[in-house]
């Protein structure tokens, strides 16, 4: 990779912070550093302590850096950042923007067109995996867009932030379409595991033995989904939820919108989304997407909160 190109990062949420730390460690080992920013800049203190360079906003990151990774929560935030860069005095020609967020495919296509008109390249790079997978540097990257950029930046992704790249070609829309479609499995799995664990608790088997079976029979991914429920992390006693219920709802709604446009029925996803909406209405913002477990508990005569979760 071209060592002269400076690398930037914006977005230090539950996924982005771990990804940025892994990327900075790689750059630091090569005698360089990551330039970063975030809406709340203090969230990057651990990066600053390790030699990464903070900047006040996306414009300053874009001014200094050639390749800029984004990891943000919503389509609106992404569009706002792109607009901010385009409306600034920063010359974007020759720069590459890589968006690791999960957006609607139409948003990726729109952003790609805007950046290309400004002489920049865009790579839609949504990732599969929870924050624990991000911390371990084992995310699966779905990437589409400028192929030269994907090839050039692969050494900063594979073995650093992710285990593999699924290259979806030149059309940025396609990698996001893959991510949104794949997220149907995530949400429906959460619903199925929550239903299973509530039944196991009610029929006397207990969640511990059921979780053992889930791990042994279906592997660590589904076992990890179960643990998000049984450990109480669906409504953490301290700190912030791993992957917020609001973001999970957003991802599910993207899939439901695509399905509606194509006249595809998705009753399981629709049910799970409604349960997440109910969870958010009852328990507030600081819930994990697995909080549909609390709703199913309530519907079965159990408290929304478990002994392991917070209690209100």
Query: Which tokens in the block code for residue 216?
Result: 């042994």
Active-site annotation, residues: 179
Token couple for 157: 């992704």
Sign of CA dihedral 175, 177, 183, 184: negative
DSSP-derived secondary structure letter, 162:
E
| C-alpha span between 19 and 25 (Å, rounded) | 10
CA–CA distance, 307 with 312 (Å, rounded to integer): 11
CA-CA distances (angstroms) from residue 114 to 11, 84, 283? 20, 12, 39
Beta bridge partners of 11: none
Tokens of 11: 């977005």
Nearest to 70 by CA among 132, 19, 3, 140: 19
Burial of 223 (0-12, 13-18, 19+ CB in 10 A): middle
């Amino acid at each position: 990779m071209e060592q002269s190109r400076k690398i930037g990062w914006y977005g230090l949420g539950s996924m982005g912070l771990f990804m940025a730390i892994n990327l900075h460690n790689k750059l630091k080992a090569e005698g360089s550093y990551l330039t970063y920013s975030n809406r709340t800049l203090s969230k990057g203190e651990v990066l600053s302590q390790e030699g990464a360079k903070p900047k006040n906003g996306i414009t300053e990151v874009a001014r200094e850096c050639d390749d800029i990774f984004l990891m943000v929560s919503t389509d609106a935030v992404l569009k706002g950042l792109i607009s901010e860069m385009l409306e600034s005095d920063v010359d974007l020609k020759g720069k590459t923007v890589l968006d690791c967020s999960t957006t609607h495919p139409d948003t990726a296509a729109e952003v790609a067109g805007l950046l290309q008109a400004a002489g920049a390249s865009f790579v839609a790079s949504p990732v599969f995996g929870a924050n624990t997978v991000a911390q371990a540097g084992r995310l699966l990257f779905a990437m589409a867009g400028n192929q030269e950029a994907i090839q050039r930046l692969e050494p900063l992704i594979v073995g650093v932030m992710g285990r593999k790249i699924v290259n979806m070609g030149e059309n940025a829309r396609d990698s996001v379409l893959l991510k949104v479609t794949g997220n149907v499995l995530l949400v429906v799995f959460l619903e199925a595991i929550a239903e299973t664990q509530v039944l196991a608790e009610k029929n006397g088997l207990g969640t511990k033995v059921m979780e053992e079976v889930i791990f042994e029979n279906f592997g660590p991914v589904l076992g990890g989904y179960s643990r998000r429920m049984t450990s109480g992390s669906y409504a953490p006693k301290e700190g912030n939820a791993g992957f917020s219920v609001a973001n999970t709802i957003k991802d599910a709604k993207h899939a439901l919108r695509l399905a509606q446009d194509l006249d595809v029925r998705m009753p399981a996803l629709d049910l799970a989304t409604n349960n997440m909406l109910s969870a958010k209405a009852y328990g507030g913002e600081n819930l994990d997407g697995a909080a549909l477990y609390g709703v199913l508990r309530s519907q079965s005569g159990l408290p929304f909160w478990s002994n392991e979760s917070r209690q209100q």
